[in-house]
Structure formats: C-alpha cells, structure tokens
C-alpha cells in the first residue's frame, strides 16, 4: 500500500518538478512574456520567439558570417543597444562565442530575411553578472532581430 502511494505521488510530482527545472525565465519575466506574447514558441533551452516576418533559404549555420540588424531591450522596455542601419549591420562568425549564447542558438534557427522577436533568459545572456550599468544582473533580454545574410567563406 505504501509503495503504491509513493508511486502515485511520484507520478504526480515528478512532471511538475521537471517542468519547473526547464523554465529559465524569472517568475516576473515569465508572467510578462505569457501576458504579452502568449503564442511565442519556446526552444528546449528556454529561448522564446515570435516570427514577425519569414525569410527564405537555408538556416544559418555555425561558422558562417552573419549580418544582423537588431534592437535590444529589457522587459521594462528600456533600449540598451541597437544596430539598425542596413548599410552597417552587426556582422560576426556564428557559433564562435562572439555574441551571447542565446544569439548563437537562435540565429541557427533563422533564415536570411527572418524578422523575429526573441526573448532570451538571463543564463543565455549576461547571467548573474549582468553588464553594468546598462544591463542589470539576471536580466531577461528582448530583441527584435532581422537576419540579413548568412554566408560561408
């Protein structure tokens, strides 16, 4: 009898515990995201995104040179960084840790021409250190990203 009770309890509690472990956003930020972007797609690493405009072609691959336009904001709406001039995009080699981990991950899902709203949890951004004085500790970052190009050498 005790064994059955323990088994039933584990079957009820274990899924909740696993779900809690997978959520990467702080509770207040999660509430904000679910209220404002209820249809956002969630990756296995906790990044959420909304496709604003679909591009075409192959997804970006590690090692390619990518060109990106973006606006980065905190969940309170404060802009902390941006690059919006198509003549002068941010260009870097994907997958080489030149940017935050969340960018290296999400850009590998994007195709040239894609415009996405991307929500990156703190651990895939600047984590517990933040980037003072502009980005506080444990900040969830919200980006409007436009992948212009992904080119191999």
Look at residue 4 and tell me if it is in a domain: no
On whether the CB atoms of residues 88 and 69 are closer than 8 A, the answer is no
Look at residue 1 and tell me if it is in a domain: no
Look at residue 12 and tell me if it is in a domain: no
What predicted TM-score, i.e. pTM, was given to this entire model?
0.84
Look at residue 119 and tell me if it is in a domain: yes
The neighbour count for residue 66, using CB atoms within 10 Å, is: 26
DSSP 31-54: HHHHHH-TT-EE-TTS-EEEEEE-
Q: What is the pLDDT of residue 5?
A: 47
Look at residue 141 and tell me if it is in a domain: yes
Look at residue 101 and tell me if it is in a domain: yes
pLDDT digits (tens, 9 = 90+) for 66-116: 999 999 999 999 999 999 999 999 999 999 999 999 999 999 999 999 999
d(CA 113, CA 149): 7
pLDDT digits (tens, 9 = 90+) for 113-129: 999 999 999 999 999 99
On whether the CB atoms of residues 104 and 94 are closer than 8 A, the answer is yes
- Range of weakest confidence among 5-14, 52-61, 139-148: 5-14
Look at residue 11 and tell me if it is in a domain: no
What is the gyration radius of the CA atoms in the chain, in angstroms?
18
CATH number of the domain encompassing residue 112: 3.10.50.40
**Where in the sequence is the domain holding 35, given as residue range(s)?**
25-151
> Could you give the number of structural domains in the chain?
1
Token pair, residue 13, equals 């509690």
Task: Quickly state the pLDDT bin for 23 (edges 50, 70, 90).
Answer: confident
């Amino acid at each position: 009898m005790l064994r059955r009770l323990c088994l039933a309890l584990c079957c009820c509690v274990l899924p909740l515990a696993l779900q809690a472990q997978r959520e990467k956003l702080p509770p207040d930020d999660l509430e904000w995201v679910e209220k404002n972007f209820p249809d956002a797609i969630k990756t296995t690493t906790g990044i959420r995104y909304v496709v604003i405009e679909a591009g075409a072609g192959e997804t970006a691959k590690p090692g390619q040179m990518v060109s990106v336009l973006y606006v980065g904001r905190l969940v309170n709406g404060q802009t902390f960084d941006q690059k919006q001039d198509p003549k002068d995009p941010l260009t870097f080699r994907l997958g080489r840790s030149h940017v935050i981990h969340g960018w290296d991950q999400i850009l590998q899902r994007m195709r040239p021409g894609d415009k996405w709203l991307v929500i990156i949890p703190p651990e895939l951004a600047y984590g517990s250190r933040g980037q003072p004085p502009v980005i506080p500790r444990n900040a969830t970052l919200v980006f409007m990203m436009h992948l212009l190009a992904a080119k191999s050498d």
